[in-house]
Structures are given as C-alpha cells and as structure tokens.
C-alpha cells in the first residue's frame, strides 16, 4: 500500500558545531561546495574561522547541497543553520555545478515547502549526476594552505601533502612556491617557535583583506608618488581571530586590576649549559635545547611556592589549581594562539622543547586543534625572538599571571666590585592584583630568576 511519506525526501540542516571552550561564534571563511553539488556523508562543505582555529564542517548525510543560507564573510553562532542538504536535488539551482545546460532541477514531493512544484516531478526526476568538481576542492588541505595557494595561483592538487593522511599543509604550498622542500627542518621549526605576547604585538597577525577594486591598467611602480591631493588608503576587514583578540584584550584590562613587575636574569649559566650539551641533546632527542624549557621549569617551581599565581577568580572565590598546564603564546600569521603543555611539571626538558616546536609548526600550518588550546593555568610569552628588549604582557583570562621573556643582550654588570659583560634578559610578570599582592609577584619573579641563574636547582624545584 502506498504511503504519503514514500516519496518524501530526507533533508538535513548543516549546523555550526560546538566550537570548544569559550568559543561562541565563528565566521564563514569559504564554502568548498556549490549549491546543486552532490556530496557524500562527511565531505568537507564549508570552512569556519574562529578566534582560535579554522575548521571544516562536514556533510551530515549524502545528497545534494540544496541551499546555502550563510555566505562567505558572515558571522554565525553555534547551532545556526549554514545550509541544507537534500537526499536528492529539490530546487532549480541556476548555474549549479554539473547541471546540464537547459535542464531544470525540480522539487521532490514534500521536500521544500513554498517552492513551486510539478505534480509527480519528484518521482520522474533523474538522479543528479556528480559534479565536475575541480581537483583543488577534492584535495585535502588546511584552510591556510588553500588561502596561500589561491593568493599565488598555485594548483593545490599538484602539491604533495605532508600532513596527516597526506593533507596539504601551508608549509607544503610555500615550499612549492619557493621551490624549497615543504617540510620544515628541526632548526627551522625551532626558530619558528617564537611565542608572542598575549597583547598580540610584534606584527604576527594577518587580517583577512576585503575585496580590492580592480587594479588600474597602468599601475604605479611601488613607492611612486600619488597624484597631488590623493591620500591612498586601504580598508581591510579584521580576521575573526584579530577582532576577538582586540575585544578580549580590552576586556582583560577593564576586568582585572593588572600590574606588571620587572627583573633581569643573568643567562650566563643557561647559555654555558646549552653550549656544552646542545649537540648531545639534539642527537638524542632530535630537537635543539632552547631557553623556553628552562623558564617553563622555573615557572613551575615558583608557582608551587606562590600558588595564587596559578589560580583564577570565580565570583568571590579563588580557584587554586594544583596542576600545571602552561600556555605557550605563539604568534601565527592568522593571529595569536596559546596552545597548552598539559601537566608540564611531569614533562622532561626534551618533551617541553618537542611540544613547543610542534605547536609552532602546527600554528603556522593552521593545524592546531581546540584541545590544544583549552584551559591553561599560567602563560609564558617570548617577545625576545622578535627582538623585544622589554614589554608589558597582557593577561590571558581567566588566568591571573603571565611571564614575558625578552631578548638576551650582552650588558655591563657589576660583579663583586668589577664590571663584567654578561648575557642578560629582562623578564616581566603581569598579574591580577585582585588576588596577587605586589610583594608576592615580586618574590615570584625573584624565584624564577634564582632558578634560571642556577639551572641545577630546576631538577629539585620543578
């Protein structure tokens, strides 16, 4: 017996998924499929840009992308509908990929209320043919890799990916452009680990540019003077990450009673230790011995002694955390991110260095996950890799402390009545004065200084 639901077409909404801790909205970066294209369950449909990571939303079922509701550049919230997938084509889609010229896609019975239909057309319509999808959209690639490829007009399908399951990473595209191998060497990645201050300074961001007007037929040479009275300007839309960074940094300064205390660290002992052990360390662990691991260990030793710097405020209570998840601020092209070393107190120097190198590499490729960025009890940021001599880091809420490292520079120091030249580094601790007293912050920084200047004690204190 025929049932009215027999010819009813199944449809699914494409929803903005849960995006992780503290992320409530996103921006539609780019649709990977067009209306009218046939897709399989799980196929990437659209890229979303958040303040922390970019991610792809997959097809909830096999069928045809019948409707796109939110276009490129629109801001969306968790749970909102991005588009609709029908079990088979249900509406006429002008210019849809794979459509035979002159042929109409007709509405299936009961599949989309309000659209005009022809009786029986849903049963008589032919199954839509797979679209002639360009290779670039079939190739697995990160969003940042696609953007670089598009900007340089590189065919991404021709690039061999070095990511998981052959995914094309940003470094692969850059390697194809320059002719260099896509994968970064250990030293290159170590140099890229430059963690950046939570204030997002030192120019490590890249805003998404608004569409530009067509270039004039005879463009001026770079640096050529403009016509008299013309004041050239360019309007560039902030990326989602940059806009959120701007908002949160203002909120951090408004909500917290933030102060900063400074000190300087004699890096002689650490420099000598690294020089003695660097080759053996690299041969054994496959990564260079940087300064970051010393400061991670020293910070943990100081946090144990001054636990309110490893806390957060909730209402009128202090949540003192007895674990040490240390955030490492990393400046990537898309903006600042702070991936977290979980249980850093249990990590060896080598594990810390490998973790930081991996964060830097994946941040540059846009391959960090939400899990990498969750939580964190205390943050370390290194502006010294960019040449910063001194700066005031801004808190990374809800944390109440952040340690800023800076450039190591030879300076004359008085030692036992004599002037000596020593490799010195200014360090800065920004803290929330609501729960951390000034004396406590100063003593915390002095403790970090003592541990770094006598690195042998790190084995005991951290």
Contacts of 217 (CB under 8 A, 6+ apart): none
Concerning whether 433 is annotated as a catalytic residue, the answer is yes
Calculate the alpha carbon distances from 334 to 320, 366, 380 in Å.
Answer: 33, 8, 20
DSSP letter string over 76-96? EETT-EEEEEESS--S--TT-
Q: Which of 75, 410, 437, 454 is catalytic?
A: 437
Concerning whether 172 is annotated as a catalytic residue, the answer is no
Q: Are strands 401-405 and 378-382 parallel, antiparallel or unpaired?
A: parallel
To the nearest 10 degrees (0 to 180), the angle between helices 268-285 and 349-365 is 80
| Helix and strand numbers, DSSP H then E, in the chain | 12, 19
Burial letters 8-36, b for 16+ CB under 10 A, else e: ebebbebebeebbeebebbbbbbbbbbbb
Cα angle 54-146-189, degrees, rounded to a multiple of 5: 75
Calpha distance 168→29 (Å, rounded): 18
Residue pair 63/69 in contact by the 8 Å Cβ criterion? no
Closest CA to 360 of 330, 403, 387, 380: 330
Calculate the alpha carbon distances from 74 to 69, 183, 299 in Å.
Answer: 10, 34, 41
Sign of CA dihedral 300, 303, 304, 308: negative
Tell which phi-psi region holds residue 264, choosing left (phi > 0), alpha (psi between -120 and 50) or beta.
Answer: beta
Residue positions annotated with a catalytic role: 433, 437
């Amino acid at each position: 017996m025929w049932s009215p639901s027999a010819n009813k077409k199944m449809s699914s909404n494409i929803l903005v998924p849960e995006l992780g801790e503290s992320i409530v909205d996103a921006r539609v970066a780019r649709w990977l499929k067009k209306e009218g294209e046939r897709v399989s369950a799980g196929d990437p449909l659209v890229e979303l840009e958040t303040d922390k990571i970019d991610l792809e939303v997959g097809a909830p079922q096999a069928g045809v992308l019948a409707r796109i509701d939110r276009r490129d550049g629109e801001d969306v919230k968790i749970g909102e509908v991005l588009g609709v997938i029908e079990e088979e084509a249900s509406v006429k889609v002008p210019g849809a990929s794979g459509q035979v010229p002159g042929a109409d896609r007709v509405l299936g019975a009961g599949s989309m209320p309000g659209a005009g239909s022809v009786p029986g057309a849903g049963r008589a319509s032919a199954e839509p043919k797979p679209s002639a999808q360009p290779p670039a959209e079939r190739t697995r690639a990160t969003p940042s890799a696609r953007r670089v490829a598009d900007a340089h007009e590189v065919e991404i399908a021709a690039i061999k990916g070095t990511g998981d399951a052959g995914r094309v990473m940003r470094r692969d595209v850059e390697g194809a452009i320059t002719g260099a191998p896509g994968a970064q060497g250990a030293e290159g990645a170590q140099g890229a680990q430059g963690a950046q201050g939570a204030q997002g300074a030192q120019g490590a961001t890249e805003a998404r540019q608004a569409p530009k007007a067509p270039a004039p037929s005879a463009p001026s040479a770079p640096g050529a003077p403009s016509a008299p009275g013309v004041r050239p300007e360019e309007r560039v839309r902030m990326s989602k990450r940059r806009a959120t960074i701007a908002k949160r940094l203002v909120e951090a300064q408004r909500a917290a009673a933030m102060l900063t205390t400074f000190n300087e660290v004699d890096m002689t002992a650490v420099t000598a230790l690294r020089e003695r052990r660097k080759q053996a360390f690299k041969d054994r662990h496959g990564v260079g011995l940087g300064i970051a691991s010393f400061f991670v260990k020293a910070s943990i030793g100081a946090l144990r002694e001054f636990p309110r710097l490893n806390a957060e405020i909730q209402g009128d209570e202090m949540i003192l955390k007895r674990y040490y998840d240390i955030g490492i601020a990393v400046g990537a092209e898309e903006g600042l991110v702070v991936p977290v070393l979980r249980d850093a107190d249990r990590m060896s120097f080598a594990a810390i260095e490998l973790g930081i190198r991996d964060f830097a590499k994946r941040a540059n490729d846009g391959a960090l996950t939400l899990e990498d960025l969750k939580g964190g009890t205390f943050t370390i940021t290194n502006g010294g890799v960019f040449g910063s001599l001194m700066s005031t880091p801004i808190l990374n809420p809800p944390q109440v402390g952040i340690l800023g490292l800076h450039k190591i520079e030879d300076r004359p120091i008085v030692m036992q009545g004599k002037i000596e030249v020593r490799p010195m580094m200014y360090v800065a601790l920004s803290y929330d004065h609501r729960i951390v007293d000034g004396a406590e912050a100063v003593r915390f920084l002095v403790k970090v200084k003592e541990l770094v200047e006598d690195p042998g004690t790190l084995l005991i204190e951290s």
